[in-house]
Homo-oligomer: A and B are copies of this chain.
């Protein structure tokens, strides 16, 4: 029997919709925190298949989610290319920024295959244990990766990266190209290891002007989708161009993704009118509603269910779960969706 999420990703509208949540494996779960305390640094947790597989499966066991999302970090790929990374408590990751051709030349796609091997082993382990849930692999999109790789830290506006895209477009394009090729390798590897769908997280797509969005978001996504489709036909790609706003329809059409994940701000009906019927929609409950719980969570959940009714829809959040989320609110959310 085909897994529920894969039926939806093939275009079927199912009621109630299947559900999983971005960042469903992580800090809000006590069993994650217990395991995290045993591991070394965060990167070593991501690169230890036994532990990463366990973390991936925790929310599937606890809540009966319809998908397991690979527990990993988008920065595994920049690290695999040769860019250093340091995780500082409360500050987020810090990378030695890539701002000239010399720094770019320090990256090497030849390193990727070996470096990501532990992640692919995690995928194999999860797939063997995941049962009726579908296993979704992922990567950061080339633009969002480039934002951090150039900026070196998180940022409100990634001004260094965006200024480079305008001021030194050749260098920025070469970085995007390199990350695009590495992403194809990485996601194809995840699929070969057992991922049944893959998702591209483009957290910062909404920073871009329409022309830059077409060049640095839509075009690289199209390359990735086409390459994966050629190598692994039938494995769906979910795009998440966060805050793409009115460009979501053009993105879906031009990129060729099977599904678009909508962020919290997207009105399901208004966005649905822009996205062709054949494209599956995923989303988009506000993670802060899950923090609040109670009537607020119920109302927002109902609005999401109703907003996507009639479409092929995967219930999810509009952004990742935040660490202060009470796990019992997640359980209540899943129960409400199951009972819809």
| B-binding residues in A (CB < 8 A) | 154, 156-157, 159, 162-163, 165-167, 169, 206-213, 243-250, 264-268, 270-271, 274, 284-286, 288-289, 291-294, 296-297, 299-300, 303, 307, 318-319, 322, 324
The complex places the Cα of A157 from the Cα of B203 at a distance, in Å, of 13
The complex places the Cα of A228 from the Cα of B167 at a distance, in Å, of 43
Please tell me if the beta carbons of B265 and A166 are within 8 angstroms of each other in the complex.
Answer: no
Please tell me if the beta carbons of B245 and A166 are within 8 angstroms of each other in the complex.
Answer: no
The complex places the Cα of A210 from the Cα of B162 at a distance, in Å, of 29
> Of all chain B residues, which has the CB nearest A299?
B211
The complex places the Cα of A238 from the Cα of B300 at a distance, in Å, of 29
Q: Which of B245, B265, B307, B324 contacts A266 (CB 8 A)?
A: B245
> Of all chain B residues, which has the CB nearest A267?
B210
A contact patch SS = helix
In the complex, chain B residues whose CB is within 8 Å of the CB of A246: 245-246, 248, 266-267, 270-271, 274
Please tell me if the beta carbons of B210 and A163 are within 8 angstroms of each other in the complex.
Answer: no
Q: Which of B159, B270, B300 contacts A211 (CB 8 A)?
A: B300
Q: Give this chain's copy count.
A: 2
Please tell me if the beta carbons of B270 and A247 are within 8 angstroms of each other in the complex.
Answer: yes
Known: A167-B296, A210-B303, A303-B210. A322 touches B267 (CB 8 A): no
In the complex, chain B residues whose CB is within 8 Å of the CB of A211: 299-300, 303
Please tell me if the beta carbons of B209 and A289 are within 8 angstroms of each other in the complex.
Answer: yes
Please tell me if the beta carbons of A156 and B159 are within 8 angstroms of each other in the complex.
Answer: no
> Of all chain B residues, which has the CB nearest A214?
B267
* 14 A–B contacts, CB within 8 A, in A order: A156-B156, A157-B322, A166-B289, A166-B296, A206-B265, A207-B265, A209-B264, A209-B289, A209-B318, A210-B303, A245-B246, A246-B270, A247-B265, A250-B270
